[in-house]
Copies of this chain bind each other. A is one copy, B any other.
Amino acid sequence: MKTPMPPRSRNRSSAFADRARRIRLLLMDVDGVLTDGRIYLQSLPDGTAEEMKVFHAHDGAGLKLARAAGLRTGVITGRDSAATSRRAREVGMDFVSQKRAEKLPAYEQILREARVRDAEVAYIGDDLPDLPVLERVGLAIAVDNAVPEVKRAAHFVTRRRGGEGAVREAIEAILRARGSWHEVIAKARA
């Protein structure tokens, strides 16, 4: 299914537009995709530690644009944190699957709930645990900071790094391929 071309030259191919036009559901990893991969742990006086997560405002605005364009969105992550739950709620995500060391069962469950097929799903990842899902979806996206194995498996590699607007960039690329970007940002300003 994957061509031997390097991802960056594939980015502008008409194949990308074909894949993007079919997407109805945009899923993604959290650490390294919606964040820059840093794991912040705050020590507390009682000897425990709680996690902080660092998202980006541009991704948040992008995810709201995706919704406005009729895409559903969600995350599948191996970790579990209240920060991710709050962020998913803030940006209006439809599916939040945390604490899933193996991502494929979570992915399949979301597909059943969303009633969509592989070809209608885009997934954004950065590391080895994302590979099984990336090889299933219709549009496989890697962030610039992904490990080489993930970049090789992707149809599209973002120029931006995770946590610095990579998700916004992916959404803009999908909406432009569908021809709905200008309509959506005009609506966002109204």
Interface residues, chain A, CB within 8 Å of chain B?
31-32, 37-45, 47-58, 60-61, 81-83, 85-87, 127-129, 131-132, 147, 149, 163, 165, 185, 188-189
Contacts and interface: CB of A to CB of B under 8 A. Distances in A.
Given A32-B58, A56-B38, A58-B147, A44 B127 contact: no
A25 B182 CA distance: 32
Given A149-B185, A189-B131, A39 B55 contact: yes
Contact of A81 (B43, B57, B58): B43
B48 A45 contact: yes
The quantity of this chain's copies bound in the complex is: 4
A123 to B, nearest CB: 15
Contacts of A51: 43
Contact of A39 (B56, B82, B185): B56
Most buried by B among A39, A50, A82: A39
B54 A129 contact: no
A41 B86 CA distance: 8
